[in-house]
Amino acid sequence: MISKTSGYAIRGLAYLALKSTAVNKIGVHELAAELNVPQPFLGKIMQGLVRRDIISSTKGPNGGFFTNERTLTTPIIDVVDAIDGLGMFRRCFLGLPECNSEKPCPLHQHVIGFRDSLQHSLETLTVHDMVRDIEGGLSVLKRLAVLSSTEHP
């Protein structure tokens, strides 16, 4: 339901939350290689998160992306909003220009509960929650499942 771009942003955040610090910055090359995402595309995505102060970055030979004091408490909905906006929670699933409870499309009554539930879940789920689940072995995000706080450099 979320875009591929938002998915890349969420994956990038999870990796940074597991591996980065203000001292141990992660370059876009490493991030793209670890997540198997095109580097220029991922760089633009991550810069969008920097502009929203969800993560931080520095330029130069020791530069890269890293988490800041806000990263772990950021609700996932803020990431989706930064990348795609929240229109997906208002638009018609069939793309009709007018779709609401008074003039519903054929899917409206069947998906409105799912859409509202997804929005609520993304509003309450934080980056910290994702990291906790990855570190606890409750979820897997590519190779990130094998990373833990004890393996940080």
CATH value at residue 22: 1.10.10.10
Q: How many CA atoms lie within 13 A of 15 on its CB side?
A: 25
d(CA 82, CA 1): 16
The answer as to whether 90 is a domain residue is no
The answer as to whether 120 is a domain residue is no
Q: Give the tens place of pLDDT for each residue, 55-80.
A: 999 998 889 999 999 999 999 999 99
With 50 as the cut, is the pLDDT of residue 29 above it? yes
The answer as to whether 70 is a domain residue is yes
User: Does residue 136 come out as left (phi exceeding 0), alpha (psi in the -120 to 50 range) or beta?
Assistant: alpha
**140 pLDDT band (50/70/90 cuts)?**
confident
Q: What was the pLDDT predicted at 46?
A: 97
With 60 as the cut, is the pLDDT of residue 150 above it? no
Domain span including residue 51: 4-85+126-145
With 50 as the cut, is the pLDDT of residue 152 above it? no
List residues bridging with 64 in a β-sheet: 58
The answer as to whether 59 is a domain residue is yes
The answer as to whether 106 is a domain residue is no
Share of the chain above pLDDT 70, in %: 92
| Inter-residue contact 85 to 50 (CB < 8 Å) | no
Q: Give the tens place of pLDDT for each residue, 91-133.
A: 998 999 999 989 999 999 999 999 999 999 999 999 999 999 9
Which of the two residues, 151 and 106, has the higher pLDDT score? 106
The answer as to whether 95 is a domain residue is no
| Inter-residue contact 46 to 83 (CB < 8 Å) | no
**146 pLDDT band (50/70/90 cuts)?**
very low
